[in-house]
Chain A
């Protein structure tokens, strides 16, 4: 059999489990064979692992309007370097992504860039103002895969309910930033011993759980209203979970069969509010870094499936902005390029977290939430893949990021598992020099 590209001796790990080694022949954008063949380009992948391409359900690419922080070119390149073949971009841009023309323009431009594939999320409400619903049908037709007022917190439960009902008509998932604005106040970090000591305005973990509790009731209502009229895959997706209590509520609701999903970010799995002790705004994220007990709970939730997937919440900013003081510096950190090696090193290598489960949370989990079929390593499957090296070890060096945001809370951390090569439909979009 003839193909374009042969990856020899790669160990295969996908969301179903860890498989043996194989010679993977790729051609016509697909996996042609797992038992070798002829190809003009051959890569010896002895010791390396081949997985389905990672899928990020939550990244900020800042285009249109904030290209000084990131644009499609830098963001999608960063994604490919991080092993991502697909990413969902958030709509809180300038202007807001709330009409079909912007979605279509983003899709068109991303296709020309030929890096990771872009799946735009569009605003749930026009202008993300939380008042009038967006045109879900037209947005979906233009390529939007999710509706969200991310960044805004959907204060009006009635609007959220209407949005969920309407989005369900088109099979679109709605995702929310679950934080009660009244409880959060102007908090810049987790409210607790550290914030009290540092004298920084705190954001209580109950701001998250209180809002999740409300949203779960809204989902119950919408489910009952929909009855069997629409197949509700998952109605509501709760973004970047950060608290143990929030997780408990979600776990309980899932056991009850409520159609909800959730994600967790790499920072909430590896850092705590103690990181703010040095008073460095680099650690300022929303929701904030919580406590070790929250971190432990989230890892447990990731393992037992209460948490469906990893979302990077890649949120690039300029260096100047991040060097403002803790009150004024913006929330967010870039993470597309380190997410996989970080979690492989910190969870799998250090804690013995099952590798196949982590791969599933990077691949099957997000795909299922968005209605994409699972991608497994088998003959005939789409060749959107990542080859990564569990032995390679090197430090995080933000100045080498493809992202325009060249800072990182993990700078200097020695990580393993760096991606070596990323393929989108059989085309190499990243190969380590």
Chain B
């Protein structure tokens, strides 16, 4: 195999700053192989035998954590998990202290989630070990973007020239940011849509619009984001009926997109708020497929940061 056929990989996944299109595509190819592993009766390979992976979640998330932990176990890694709420930092224990303590126990890679942007970068500089960002504040959630891209490619084939609409609270969404970073790398155009207070002033990689019709018009796929309750409490948007009237993706509005355009949602979903409930269960919905693919993609990521060619 020639060298260009197996690109080297960064030994971390903090976001996509250090990743090239080639590396991402190669990673998605690995994920495809992992999918085959997951289809076997015995869903286990010895690839990461002897490695210890820690999931360190300072912000609670059951789904993402289980997805990562299963991914690691299916490759025979030992897995430990640490849950810290933000109150542990209030009590004086810093992220650094927590991570350094864990590091004394022989951890080989860290899967890190926090409510604050940048912590995975700090962790990487403190630990000098592979760090996988499982979501940092509003900033990045790269494995979610990878599994979205993987799922979209499964459905649409290449993403080259495809228009992907992302609808919802863009300003506070790490999923939107990571997708706006990754999907254009793979050739897609991204239109992000929401009410103006929930849109950033600019977002590299995406066109911004407050018009749902404009966003969905001839879209090849539609990604709907969860509306967070705490935003509602702060009056952004002013009320649920108001938001539903203006921005809910329903059957009629989905008709503005290309026929059969797939529908994605990173979950957890507020049924009948950001998305008409029955649409989530329709043939157009890839929501369950996203979850299934998440595991394969995370196996591929773990494989590459731990034993892939550097």
The interface residues of chain A lying within 8 Å CB-to-CB of B119 are 325
A326 touches B94 (CB 8 A): no
The interface residues of chain B lying within 8 Å CB-to-CB of A323 are 94-96, 122
| Residues of chain B in range 188-231 having any CB-CB distance to chain A below 8 Å | 200-204
In angstroms, how far is the closest chain A Cβ from the Cβ of B231? 13
CA of A278 to CA of B117, assembled, Å: 11
B202 touches A325 (CB 8 A): no
Residue A74, interface by CB 8 Å:
no
CA of A278 to CA of B177, assembled, Å: 17
Query: Residues of B within 8 Å of A, CB-based: how many?
Result: 25
B118 touches A280 (CB 8 A): yes
The interface residues of chain A lying within 8 Å CB-to-CB of B177 are 197, 199
B89 touches A279 (CB 8 A): no
CA of A327 to CA of B122, assembled, Å: 13
Cβ proximity bits A172-207 to B, threshold 8 Å, 1 near / 0 not: 000000000000000000011101111111000000
Interface of B is mostly: loop
B117 touches A279 (CB 8 A): yes
The interface residues of chain A lying within 8 Å CB-to-CB of B200 are 195-196
Residue B33, interface by CB 8 Å:
no
> Given A196-B203, A199-B137, do A320 and B117 touch, yes or no (CB 8 Å)?
no
| Residues of chain B in range 132-166 having any CB-CB distance to chain A below 8 Å | 137-140
> Given A279-B117, A327-B115, A328-B89, do A192 and B122 touch, yes or no (CB 8 Å)?
no
- Among A191, A198, A320, A324, contact of B201 (Cβ-Cβ < 8 Å): A191
| Residues of chain B in range 103-123 having any CB-CB distance to chain A below 8 Å | 114-119, 121-122
The interface residues of chain B lying within 8 Å CB-to-CB of A199 are 117, 137-140, 172, 174, 177
| Residues of chain A in range 273-295 having any CB-CB distance to chain B below 8 Å | 278-281
CA of A327 to CA of B86, assembled, Å: 11
CA of A193 to CA of B200, assembled, Å: 9
Rank and list the top 9 A-B pairs by shortest CB-CB distance, nearest first. Answer: A279-B118, A199-B138, A325-B116, A199-B139, A196-B200, A327-B116, A279-B121, A325-B119, A326-B118
- Ordered by A's residue number, 30 sampled pairs between the chains whose C-beta atoms are within 8 Å are A193-B201, A196-B201, A196-B202, A197-B177, A197-B202, A197-B203, A198-B117, A198-B118, A198-B139, A199-B117, A199-B139, A199-B177, A200-B137, A200-B139, A201-B138, A279-B118, A280-B121, A320-B94, A320-B96, A323-B94, A323-B122, A324-B89, A325-B95, A325-B116, A325-B118, A325-B122, A326-B116, A326-B117, A326-B137, A327-B137
11 A-B pairs besides A191-B201, A196-B171 with CB distance below 8 A are A195-B200, A196-B201, A197-B204, A200-B118, A200-B137, A201-B138, A323-B122, A325-B117, A326-B118, A327-B116, A328-B116
